Structure 1
Amino acid sequence: MLNGAPVTTQDIDLLVRDTKANRRKLARFAEEIGGSSPRRVSELSNVEYIDGDLAVPVEIHFNRIAGGLTFSSVRSRAQLVAVGGEKLAVAALADVIRSKEAANRPKDRAVLPILRDTMEVKKKLE
């Protein structure tokens, strides 16, 4: 939705640099939203999650996401979007599509046609 696509996801994905300061911020964030402390999905993954009594779980990706996209590359193309009085850097729709193509999970494949159509419409409007 933040990219203008008429679909919502079942979680919130955060892509952050893996630093001690960011890990402290994520722990505070988890506490503020009433979630669990960030926990690793598996020992083989650089993904952690925050869950608990939340409307949607939060997935934290450190340094990179599927599709070979790094924090720096995604951040360089991100757009600032105002959400609840805060400004968030939101991944460009092309990066979201690339990541979902690489992840290739059923839930990703289901939304790809809508995301691609949205990107085409946005290009025509530019």
Structure 2
Amino acid sequence: MSEPDPLKILGALERHRVRFVLIGAAAARIAGAPVVTEDIDITPATDKANLERLVAALKELRARLRSPSDRGGVPFPLDAHMLRTADLWTLTTSAGELDICFTPSGTRGYRDLRREALRTRVGPGISVSVASLRDIIRSKEAAGRDKDLAQLPLLRRTLEQIRERKT
């Protein structure tokens, strides 16, 4: 839709008071891993009020279903009930790509990830809960996808370096 602007996505989620944990490569990057990504992956809380706030943020971002045949994405009925019909949503927005995963591989979802997540300032006036590197590794191991497995050695090295700095 337009140039990727991850902070615009995170800012919209924060303005609408969506409770979520940032996961995936963006979270790994914030945790210190030298990975590159332009998309945002989140795991939101699943209560109805939070999903309604998420819907409001997605509408502000003009979210559409990502489609390989249509760069602008495909419109879909966006409401809290619809979001609960799938565990994974791959969206394109006015600020770039956003993936919503309610239960990432190897986790039990928001409450599980929230336990070790750290509230981190990622931009002016924008602070988000970021999944721990341990949880990111756990999820990528469980997913078992080639792209996830390829990142594991780097993520493990980063985690080890963080641990060494703390001692």
Q: What's the TM-score, normalizing by structure 2?
A: 0.64
Residues 45 and 51, structure 2, Cα contact 8 Å, conserved in 1: no
Corresponding residue to 1:22 among 32, 44, 50: 50
Structure 1 position 32, deviation (Å): 2.4
Residues 12 and 58, structure 1, Cα contact 8 Å, conserved in 2: yes
Count of aligned residue pairs for this structure pair: 121
* Residues 81-100 of structure 1 mapped to structure 2, 5 A cutoff: 81-84=120-123, 85-100=125-140
Residues 30 and 50, structure 1, Cα contact 8 Å, conserved in 2: no
Structure 1 runs of 4+ aligned residues shifted over 3 Å read 37-40
Corresponding residue to 1:5 among 29, 33, 48: 33
SS in 1 for 2:154: helix
Structure 1 position 77, deviation (Å): 0.5
Partner of 1:47: 88
- Ranked by relative contact order (alpha carbons within 8 Å, sequence separation 6 or more), the top structure is 2
Aligned-pair identity in percent equals 35
1:37-82 Cα shifts (integer Å, max 9, x gaps): 4876xx6x41223214543x211122x2201343212101001111
Q: What's the TM-score, normalizing by structure 1?
A: 0.83
Query: What do you get for the CA RMSD once the two structures are aligned?
Result: 2.1
Structure 2: 5+ residue runs without aligned partners?
1-28, 65-77
